[in-house]
Structure 1
Amino acid sequence: MQQNNGLDKSQIISFAVLCLVLFGFMFYFQKDQQTEEALNAEKQKTEQTQNSVKSTQAANINPNVTPNSIQTATLANNELKLEFSSLGGQVSKVELLKYKAYDQKTDKADLPLYLINKNNSSYGFQFKDKTGKVINTKDLIFSPVVNGNAVTLTANYNGAAIQFIYTLNTAGELKDQYTLDFKVRSQGLANISSDNKADFIWDYSVRNVEKGRSQEQSHSEFSYAFNNYNDYDYDGRTTMEEEKETLNWIGVKQQFFSSVIESKSGFTQSKGNQENIEEGEYLKKLNFEGFVPMTGSELNQDFTWYFMPLDLPLLKSYDKNFDEILPLGWSFIGSMNRYFFMPMYNIIADWGIAAGWVIFLMTIIVKLILSPIMYKQHKLSAMMKVIRPEIDEVNAKFKDADPMKKQQATMEVYRKAGVNQMAGCLPALVQIPIFYALFRFFPNFIDLRGQGFWFAKDLTAYDDLIKLPFKIPFLGDHLSVFAIACTIVILIYTVMTSGNMQQPQQEGMPNMKVIMYIFPITFLFFLNTSASGLSWYYFVSNAINILIILVIKYVILDEKKIHAQIQANKAQPKKEGKFQKRMREMMEKAQEQQKAQEQQRNRKK
């Protein structure tokens, strides 16, 4: 019996009803969504949180230090609010004033966004005195003095003075608003130390400020530049070792923000390690150390701190290779995001429409660009359906024959009909880089951060409208409606396009139809914790694919004309292509080798 790859009128109506139900479902829950969330996991133990961050140990040098004896100083501009601690002379608090952090209790981004707070960052310069005792500036007590937009912190140790001078830019371009000049000066240090370099040690625990914990954790890593800012690298593994390079800057990258320190002389013999924190207020613990030179055993170095959002135009404006921090993908993938998807989003967003509808229009534009390729693919599918009876006839005729002969006969049918099977692979190959580019685009494009659409409150994170009272492996404790909707349309599309697929003719061969039906289900596990913008894009994309198939089948293509064209192709002498000739020669050679082997076996018998 001939298989039917199309949809009858009842199936078309069913698909239309399904789309209406999905859209109705989305609008209904947009209005009736509960804003209160009972998250038992939010009951975090304060002691565990504090233990996950390295605390500053000053008892060896200052045994009388108490929390009440620590002084603070504050500087602020339009973008940053900074606090400095007299303990270690460090930046003890960094708040980005134009951004908010996600609050699990309210399921809203309504908390102040701190990159540094509650001792999650600790840094200092370590060296030895002439007796061999290790001195670290983060253990010293500094006296702060604020003068306009600068704060000077001074510490004294055995007659030597160490000054940390921080200057926050309060005017100038936007890029200057995220920078903090940091100068280190010493006097008399040569009297107590003979070291020619100091070890800069930085311990940093990444704060959880986004909704998707696992996604944000996977995006947290070391990033650094070297070779006079020309080369960039990152490290999300357990250890980082760059002992042969001089790092121009080292940073801790989060999903949408980064804390970076630049050394004018560079960091040498750099190394670091990192480990995930499974629960609580923090995601990942990172430790870095690298050496900076001391001149005549005096510590006189210039640094710059950057506490910045990962906004591509802002990062490029520094001209320090900061734009590489944004993980948009390598080579062609990254270029596709930088020069196609991002500009396209910005142009459409300037029309003043919601982010979700911007993505909707982006999807249509991409489909229009790919429409010639998609048309060829679906036309090939229609032609395959027409010649299905002849393929079935070949399978029946060579059922018990040599598989090689059956394959040759099948290819001959395709050749005479003018059907190039390889043409069907092109659309799939084109879709792979686009998919990976969008996989990088949606969770890293800061313009989408906090942009809601229907029941998804943030298109860079998953939507968790359906909350589960338990956790499912690989799914979590929620179901994303966007992910479910996307899975459904992918399954429908798979049913519509798998009708021409041949069943396995030999035992042990996998049934490709079954594999294709399993794929959409596995896709659900992937999308459920991914950015909802990605799920929405692929829901629209596959819904358009379904409509394209219906239009091609019922409006554009005429099966009778296709059949007549195939018969005309069969009647004409068909020129054999290079690929087909090569395949035929390979099969003939394989047949000859097989016959020779059979003859040898017969002689031995």
Structure 2
Amino acid sequence: MEEKKFDPWQFVGFFLIALILTWMLYNQPPVEEVPTEIAQTESSVEGNKVVVLDQTPNEEQLNAAYGSFANLFQATTSENVKIENEKLDLIFNSKGAQISSLLLKEFNNYKEEPLFLIKENQNFNYSFTTSDGRVLNSIDFYFTPKLTERSGNQILTFTAKVSDSQFLVFEYEIKANDYMIDFSIRSEGMRSLINTREEQNITWDLKAFRNSRSIEYENRYHLLTYGFEDDKVDYLSGASDDEEEDEEVHWISYKQHFFNSILIPTKSFDSVNFTSENLVDSDIIDQEYTKVYKTKIPVISSGEINHNFKWYFGPTEYDTLAQYKLGIEDSIDFGWGIFGWINKYIFTPTFNFLSGFLPYGIAIIVLTVLVRLVMSPVTYKSYVSQIKMKVLKPEIDVITAKHKDDSVKRQQETMALYTKAGANPMAGCLPALIQLPVFYALFSFFPVAFALREKSFLWADDLSSYDSVYELGFNIPFYGDHISLFPILASIAIFFYTMMTAGQQTAPQQPGMPNMKIIMYIMPLMMLFFFNNYASGLSLYYFVSNVLTIVLMLVIKNFIVDDAKILMQLEENKKKPKKKGGFSARLQAAMEQAEQQKKAKGNR
């Protein structure tokens, strides 16, 4: 193979090329700085041209970029317009003609700072395609504001003039002492300038503020909710990113737990795409936002643009929302089915009545007492059933020992004993099932009870948040960085209640099955962890409820129910002839049939 040698001429050639390139780099004439309005980018959106300008353009460049709509981009600065009523303090910006700040005057956040629903965290945009193929967005237009008064209401009109006879108008009507704003978008003389064959879109984006101490707890109730079709309600996930699309949408709610931004069209939207992005990171203590809500609404305008809405900004309070008779009170998640019905029509009006003349903590206690009194017959039935099972336990133990190797025969004789004695092993479970709707309803009620917000009781300074009595200074997974006292008291009460009920359990431990007593004792510990970040009003309810249940059981045991009399009654029942039929008889017959089939197979 021929050895490669150093070629000096090749080296000189590369050196000269490098010198020439260096000279050209440093001596080329300066490029005339092109205003970003000329340095425009174009992209295709379904065949339409989208023009993006990065700096303030001159008139010639605007005409080239936007044609007939150039006037809408000529301003270099925007103007703020401040309006307020008894409820709201608003700032509107003339660029985009949208709300840039909205303060709820009657409320503060958890830091005792003014509570904003909007503060440079919202974008509302109307996009359309021009007749010559440009896609324009109202958020980029410079509108001219005009404030007038009509029937005692403040009318803020933003006009984006294409020409003297052609313009786009955003109009807001702010009423006195009201959370609801009337809002409309309309055009005039623009029929020939807009391509009505192309889809127009309304987009509404909002970053939800954090307003409570426990951001993870609060975030469960920051939800994008919407009403659609025939009074149906749906919502996006509160724990993770989610996306949904639905038709015939009546209203769209961006809920920030106890506060709400709700868009209500006069005519239902045909189709809407919803997106919710979760921002909560448990490692960020001072996080400002919880979620990003996004809505895209395709709309059709056969001629001029004409859309009318109502916009609610205020508390997520049932009575406040219900007064508008628009169905937006359904944005409150009271629970599904019968649970929501119980909360809406029983617990909400009852609690509102009690809290009208009692301190809120006392109102919770009184409500708990009323619930326990109403459920006391069920508690009594459950306890009597447990006593019956207890007094029959010696006989059940005999049956178990006699047929320890024959489960079918053991069950047959056990059921026969129950039938003769007039005891029903399911009677102790049915009362618990009856109480379940009430239990779950109250579990859903307290976290959304607006009346509890910032109401104190004993050491809890806010019954809608946790009642911290000691800050740990570090975070325990699944528990938090603080110690709440009401959950501890509730867990202790549950533990003692568990001990009382566990003493009544008679069913033998089945091989291979988990030890139910151990699970029952673990429950109070789980509740302690689960409720540490929950509303202290809910923990107060569970504490009082379990204490009352213990007291009721002690009263029933010591003053109402006599174990000896129950045993005598069961013995008398055994002597009585039993009617055939009933659930126990059918169950026993089925077991006997199964036993016969088993024997028949064994004889083959």
Regarding TM over 0.5, the answer is yes
1:141 paired residue number? 142
Deviation per residue, 1:517-570 (Å, 9 max, x gap): 122222223222222111111111111111122222222222222222222222
Q: Among residues 311, 315, 330, which one is paired with 1:324 in the alignment?
A: 330
Aligned to 1:210: 212
State the shift of 1:92 in Å.
0.9
CA deviation after TM superposition for structure 1 residue 485, in Å: 0.9
Confirm whether residue 292 of structure 1 aligns to residue 299 of structure 2. yes
Counterpart in the other structure of 1:472: 476
Q: Which has the larger radius of gyration?
A: 2
1:63 matched to 2:68? The reply is no
Aligned residues: 527
Displacement of 1:240 after TM fit? 4.2
Residue in structure 1 matched with residue 271 of structure 2 by the alignment: 269
Partner of 1:44: none
Q: 1:300 to 1:376 in 2, by over 3 A?
A: closer
| CA-CA distance at 1:359 after TM superposition | 0.9
Distance 1:339 1:304, change over 3 A: closer
Q: 2:280 maps to what in 1?
A: 278
Return the TM-score normalized by structure 1. 0.82
- Counterparts of 1:1-400 in structure 2, within 5 Å, are 60=53, 63=56, 69-103=77-111, 110-117=112-119, 119-148=120-149, 149-156=154-161, 161-170=167-176, 177-196=178-197, 197-227=199-229, 230-236=231-237, 238-242=241-245, 245-279=247-281, 280-296=287-303, 298-351=304-357, 353-399=358-404
Give, in whole Å, the separation in 2 of the partners of 1:559 and 1:395: 23
Aligned to 1:447: 451
Structure 2 partner of 1:18: none
* Counterparts in 2 of 1:89 and 1:490: CA distance versus 1, 3 Å: same
1:506 positional shift: 4.3
Within 1, Cα distance between the matches of 2:545 and 2:318? 26
Q: SS at the partner of 1:443?
A: helix
Instruction: Tell me, in whole angstroms, the C-alpha distance in 2 between the residues paired with 1:566 and 1:304.
Output: 67
Name the residue aligned to 1:597. 601
Amino acid at match of 2:565: K
SS in 1 for 2:125: strand
Residues 265, 292 of structure 1: 8 Å contact kept: no
**Residue 417 of structure 1 corresponds to which residue in structure 2?**
421
How far is the alpha carbon of 1:61 from its aligned partner? 7.2
Distance 1:73 1:444 in 2: 34
Alignment-mate amino acid for residue 355 of structure 1: Y
Q: Structure 1's 442 and 523: CA in aligned 2 closer, same or farther, altered over 3 A?
A: same
The one of 482, 487, 500 aligned to 1:483: 487
Using the TM superposition, give the Cα deviation of residue 66 of structure 1 relative to its aligned residue in structure 2, in angstroms.
13
Tell me which of 457, 462, 484 is aligned to 1:458.
462
CA distance in 1, matches of 2:98, 2:136: 16
Which consecutive unaligned segments of at least 5 residues does structure 1 have?
1-56, 104-109, 601-605
Secondary structure of 2:361's aligned partner: helix
Q: TM-score, normalised by structure 2?
A: 0.82
Instruction: Tell which has more relative contact order, 1 or 2 (C-alpha 8 A, sep 6+).
Output: 1
Give the secondary-structure state (helix, strand or coil) at the position aligned to 1:442: helix
8 Å CA contact retained: 2:159, 2:170: yes
The alignment status of 1:574 with 2:574, answered yes or no, reads no
Cα offset for 1:284? 0.4
- Tell me, in whole angstroms, the C-alpha distance in 2 between the residues paired with 1:311 and 1:506: 50
Q: Does 1:521 align with 2:522?
A: no
Cα distance in structure 1, aligned partners of 2:271 and 2:372: 50
SS of aligned partner of 2:468: coil
The equivalent residue for 2:440 is 436
Counterpart of 1:499, as a letter, is G
| 1:203-250 Cα deviation digits (max 9, x unpaired) | 1111111233123222222223344x744433337444445x232332
Matched-pair contact (CA < 8 Å) for 1:58–1:138: no
- How far is the alpha carbon of 1:91 from its aligned partner? 0.8
Range moving further from structure 2, 368-377 or 408-417? 408-417
Q: 2:68 matched to which residue of 1?
A: none
Alpha-carbon distance change, 430 to 310 in structure 1, aligned in 2, over 3 angstroms: same
Q: Go from structure 1 to structure 2 and tell me whether the alpha carbon gap of 1:360 and 1:505 turns closer, same or farther (over 3 Å shift).
A: closer
Match of 1:106 in 2: none
Tell me the C-alpha RMSD between the 2 structures: 2.5
SS across alignment from 1:84: strand
Structure 1 segment 549-560 matched on structure 2, within 5 A: 549-560=553-564
Structure 2 distance, partners of 1:136, 1:208, is: 30
- Residue identity in the other structure for 1:590: A
Taking every aligned residue pair, what percent have the same amino acid on both sides? 38
Structure 2 partner of 1:535: 539
Q: Cα offset for 1:503?
A: 6.0
**Cα shift at 1:138:** 0.5
